[in-house]
Amino acid sequence: MQLKLEKFVCVLGLVASMTATADTLTRDNGAPVGDNQNSITAGERGSVLLEDVQLIQKLQRFARERIPERVVHARGTGAHGVFVASKDLSDLTLAAPFQKKGKETPVFVRFSSVIHSKGSPETARDPRGFATKFYTDEGNWDLVGNNLPVFFIRDAIKFPDMVHSLKPSPVTNIQDPNRFFDFFSYEPGSTHMLTWVYSDYGTPANYRQMDGWGVHAYKMVDAEGDVSYVKFHWKSKQGINNLNLDQVMDVQSKDFQHMTRDLYAEIGAGNYPSWDLYLKVLKPEQLDDFDYNPLDATKMWAGVKEVKVGTMTLNRMPSNFFQATEQVAMAPANLIPGIEPSEDRLLQGRVFSYADTQLYRLGANHSQLPINRPVVEVLNYNQEGFMNMGETDSDVNYQPNRDGVKEDPRARHSSVALKGYVQQAAIKKQLNFKQAGDLYRSFSEQERSNLIRNMSGDLAAVNDKDTQAKMISHFYKADEEYGTRLAEAVNADLKKVKALARAL
């Protein structure tokens, strides 16, 4: 009996030793998390795996935090228009909008602010969403990007954490630099994007005078199944116009919704804004030719030539804001034959997360809403569900079937060779600071001064001096002048900053 009791006590001790402590990160079921920094991938350059429970659960729970407002991109303005291809890209892709010069494709664009709420002033510093829905003759394709070419993080598993840090405090409901700089001090890959956001590009004057970027690498696939990697860039034909801090304060005192008002006024007056679409193209064998990973969303493809492939013109505002702009369901999962997601880890997570978010916000049948409905016939066997507006009159709701409904071989996913192990590890060749330094040095002296002024205002509010110095060391590592000026602006210990930078 004594022996059995001792064994029982030992078992209890073993269980206790395996139980997550109060400072151990867990999933919703209480199980400890082994790695909250990296998604599980099929090798170094393979796709993210659906078996990554931590990633999937974080993204699902994150998408359901707000009812009914979008968690991100809550404040938006949309417009209808048309995209006209300027050349035949059939040698590069099967994608319908690019099959011949002059081909027209209707579009709907939703501009937005990323972090701030639905009623926030449009002067607030923020990346701006630039999402385009192409109503093609092979289904809807959504190119969901921003007005800046890169992003803060490179792995979707960090997206909920990043947004939590940037959103108002759960205790005070106040947005707090102490929180988001605490997070970014552990994310050196954010240095490039932070430089963009805290420059005057973080406060565009209007939606017409800003560029749009796909941010991620995508794949284009031709009729033979050959793959090319591409990046998309919308260049504003109106030019780029940003506001400095003084102009922001002046505009905000007069009109907190100036960007929306401007778009309605300009299109209403017949001044239709337009953007040229440019592509950068790499072959798969070129991905190793860089000192960074080209599938990293914190990186631009520096030195890769851009080619113009078409022009988009916005020519009509929605007749009802809610029915169009609020109910449009943009998602990177909306793809068409000839365009596929790359192995970019942030994009891989977004392909799941955005579509899942729209299902949550608008319901299983949101694609039947007029703003989301494809211009081609939809034939699938999804059925029932809330707000189903279909008119199904057949008892065949399965496939294969006697009606002979078959797949289209052209729409099969491309084949990718894999090597390595299923892993959970950070990407190699991170090069966290170089492009941020290049960007800083590309700015004029006035632009640099504005950047220092904009960023030091928030950095000065950081109470923890270690966090402040760590954050500044990232910018010092990018460019010594950049970090030195920030340190001086907030009276930080430059000697400490330099020591931290040497250790990076």
Looking up tokens 């991620």 gives 216
Distance CA 87, CA 89 (A): 6
Looking up tokens 């602010």 gives 113
345-380 burial code (b ≥16 CB/10 A, e <16): bbbbbbbbbbbbbbbbbbbbbbbbbebbebeeeeee
Q: Is 67 exposed, middle or buried (0-12, 13-18, 19+ CB in 10 A)?
A: exposed
Angle at 101 (CA atoms; ends 333, 139), nearest 5 degrees: 25
* Of 38, 140, 146, 372, catalytic: 146
Question: Which whole-number Å values give the CA distances from 332 to 7, 299, 304, 372, in the listed order?
Answer: 55, 19, 24, 14
Using the 8-state DSSP alphabet, how is residue 32 labeled?
Answer: B
Helix axes 434-442, 480-490, angle to 10 degrees: 80
Q: Is 146 a catalytic residue?
A: yes
Distance CA 477, CA 190 (A): 13
Q: Is there a contact between 417 and 284 (Cβ–Cβ < 8 Å)?
A: no
Q: Is there a contact between 250 and 244 (Cβ–Cβ < 8 Å)?
A: no
The closest of 449, 68, 10 to 244, measured between CA atoms, is 449
**SS3 sequence, 36-98?**
CCCCEEECCCCCECCCCHHHHHHHHHHHCCCCCCCCCCCCEEEEEEEEEECCCCCCCCCCHHH
* Catalytic residue set: 73, 146
